[in-house]
Amino acid sequence: MYTCREMGISTVAVYSEADRKAVHVLRADQSVFLGDSDPAESYLNIDKIIAAAKQTGAEAIHPGYGFLAENPLFAERCESERLVFIGPPSKVIRELGDKTVARRTVMGSGVAVIPGMNKPESDTRVLAGEAEKIGYPVLIKAAAGGGGKGMRVVTSPGDFNEACASATSEAKRAFSDGSIYLEKYLSRPRHIEFQIVADRQGNVVHLFERECSIQRRHQKIIEETPSPIMTPELRERMGKAAVAVAKASGYVNAGTVEFLVDQDKKFYFLEVNTRLQVEHPITEMTTGLDIVRIQLEVACGNPLPVRQEDVRGRGHAIECRIYAEDPEKGFYPSPGRIIYMEEPSGPGIRNDCGIYSGFQVPVEYDPILSKLIVYAEDRSQAIKRMIQALESYIILGVKTPVHFLIDVLKSEAFIKGDTSTDFIDTHFCGWKPDRCYADAACAAYIIDELNPAVKPKAATGQAGTEMSPWQTLGLWGR
């Protein structure tokens, strides 16, 4: 929305019942109510979203990161309704969305893929045979999946059948498609992805890598660029591979080619995310480019504003995702009301924040609160800056992984850059916060209670939390 405003483009937000008071709704030029909190009635309801666009006279739709962002039917519908879908053509989304088709496309472009199957399979016996061929440990994945749903690691043939059954049913629930396939499970790999941007004229440029190895529940929580293991030579090879994948699939707009990199720095293609990624700001920080602006330019039919040789990376950027979740209880979501919050600020700190004091974190959706991004001259400075920013970040009312993230950033393994996708399981299994934090908070509270005279009047809580219709009715009457 900031980019649109810079470019003089008016924005329309859509929202569901649960998001009535969400930041995106309050910040847009106008907003349209879709319906009930259930995504099927709102954010996944193609008809309603198209109707909202028509009603407000919108010319283009930016699908964001979630919900319909990688749904080929939605992109197709936009195309048929003569609305510009800010993303790749529906055909590309469909092909790259099916992971086995994606694998075949990529193999055709000469990029290495992880040893595994090229098409989904439902017969357990065939699957077991494939598993033997690939060699244990193997990874079961959902053909239609993402975000770790329907994923299982199997280390011995004895556990194979049961794992297949549970992965199939989970995939069916999550994507209403239970088909699965197998891949070689790499031990302690790194997750490294390349940001690519492509225009309709056939130019493809990569904007370097992001390392997103620090994951919990198969979801990234800390991302950084450049990767600590990257060398100019490896970057050159991986970047070329990413561009080759994009060209082979006829890619247009912004996307991400994900790779796994093993201990010997051999890299394997994982998948293409056909949308803007949550972690795109770190690339913006180091390259100085506004990826959303590039998306809009490309969607307008303009050529890419940069050539590969113009793209320069400088310094180091890290992003931490702040969710409403409990790091002591397996990062389980912890929705609730934000009683009070204070954002970190300072040079090189950017907080893309979706909450405010008094905000009710909806139980209905992925409980991401904000993305904290820092930029500094080098990796060690960036780590220090992120620690400082996290330490000054106050969020009261819901559990957050802020202290957990501080401990990860302070750990020897992270500082050395010794990261892999099982980093948290290896180093932070059963993590508990240092009692000091809680004790200090209790002490501060007691001191505050004992000295009522110095308490600032109505600093927190009730005052000003009530919303009048002047805040909730949008452009009523205008």
Partner 1 sequence: MDVIETKINTTSDEYRRNYESMVARVAEVKEELRKARDDRPQKAKDRIASQGKMPIREKLERLLDRNTPFLEIAPLAGRGMYDGMIHGGGLVCGVGVVCGKEVIITGNDATIKGGATYPMTMKKTLRVQTMSMQNRLPIITLIDSAGGYLPMQSEVFPDIDDGGRIFYNQSIMSKMGIPQITAVMGLCTAGGAYVPAMSDEVIHVKGIGAIFLGGPPLVKAATGEEVTAEQLGGADLHCRESGVSDYYAEDDAHAIEIIRNILYCLPLREKARLPMHEPKPPLYDPKEIYGIVSKEFKVPYDVRELIARIVDGSEFLEFKELFGPTVICGWAYIHGYPVGIIGNNGVLFPDSSMKAAQFIQLCDKRRIPLIFLQNINGFIIGREYERGGIAKHGHKMVMAQACATVPKFTVIVGASFGAGNYAMCGRAYNPRFLWMYPNAEIAVMGGEQASGVLVTLRKDQLTKEGLPPMNEEEEETIRNPIIEASKKESNALYSTSQLWDDGILDPVDTRDALGLAISASLNAPIPDDVFGYGIFRM
Name the minimum Å distance from CB 18 to partner 1.
14
Nearer to partner 1, 26 or 44 (CB): 26
Q: Taking CB under 8 A as the rule, does residue 248 contact partner 1?
A: no
Q: Which of 4, 9, 23, 29 binds partner 1 (CB under 8 A)?
A: 29
Name the minimum Å distance from CB 471 to partner 1.
7
Residues in a beta bridge with 376:
316
Structure tokens at 204: 């493809």
Q: Which of 82, 125, 416, 478 binds partner 1 (CB under 8 A)?
A: 478
Q: Taking CB under 8 A as the rule, does residue 466 contact partner 1?
A: yes
Q: Taking CB under 8 A as the rule, does residue 469 contact partner 1?
A: yes
Query: Of 61, 65, 67, whose CA–CA distance to 86 is shortest?
Result: 61
User: For partner 1, what does the binding mask look like between residues 95 and 114, x meaning CB under 8 A?
Assistant: --------------------
Nearer to partner 1, 459 or 476 (CB): 476
Q: Is the dihedral of CA 418, 245, 242, 408 positive or negative?
A: negative
User: For partner 1, what does the binding mask look like between residues 408 and 447, x meaning CB under 8 A?
Assistant: ----------------------------------------
Alpha helices (runs of H) in 392-464, residue ranges in sequence order: 402-410, 412-416, 423-427, 435-450
Q: Taking CB under 8 A as the rule, does residue 476 contact partner 1?
A: yes
Nearer to partner 1, 13 or 197 (CB): 13
Q: Which of 31, 47, 321, 407 binds partner 1 (CB under 8 A)?
A: 31
Q: Which of 28, 47, 152, 361 binds partner 1 (CB under 8 A)?
A: 28
Q: What are phi and psi of 442, to 5 degrees?
A: -60, -45
Q: Which residue type, as a one-letter code, is found at position 11?
A: T
Structure tokens at 254: 């912004």
Q: Which of 73, 153, 446, 475 binds partner 1 (CB under 8 A)?
A: 475
Nearer to partner 1, 430 or 464 (CB): 464
Name the minimum Å distance from CB 355 to partner 1.
18
Q: What burial class does residue 473 get, using C-beta atoms within 10 Å of its C-beta: 0-12 exposed, 13-18 middle, 19+ buried?
A: exposed
By CB under 8 A, the count of residues binding partner 1 is 19
- Tell me the angle at which helices 280-287 and 291-299 cross, rounded to the nearest 10 degrees: 100
Distance separating alpha carbons of residues 150 and 147, to the nearest angstrom = 9
Nearer to partner 1, 460 or 472 (CB): 472
Distance separating alpha carbons of residues 375 and 208, to the nearest angstrom = 16
Name the minimum Å distance from CB 291 to partner 1.
24
- Residues that are catalytic: 275
Structure tokens at 138: 């193997």
Alpha helices (runs of H) in 315-430, residue ranges in sequence order: 379-391, 402-410, 412-416, 423-427
Q: Strand 30-35 to strand 12-16: parallel, antiparallel, or no bridges (unpaired)?
A: parallel
Nearer to partner 1, 156 or 468 (CB): 468
Q: Taking CB under 8 A as the rule, does residue 82 contact partner 1?
A: no
The DSSP annotation for 158-178 comes to: GGHHHHHHHHHHHHHHHHS--
Q: Taking CB under 8 A as the rule, does residue 27 contact partner 1?
A: yes
Q: Taking CB under 8 A as the rule, does residue 51 contact partner 1?
A: no
Name the minimum Å distance from CB 42 to partner 1.
16
227, 211 Cβ separation under 8 angstroms: yes
Structure tokens at 282: 């770190």
Q: Which of 23, 26, 46, 51 binds partner 1 (CB under 8 A)?
A: 26
Binding positions for partner 1, rule: CB under 8 A: 26-31, 466-478
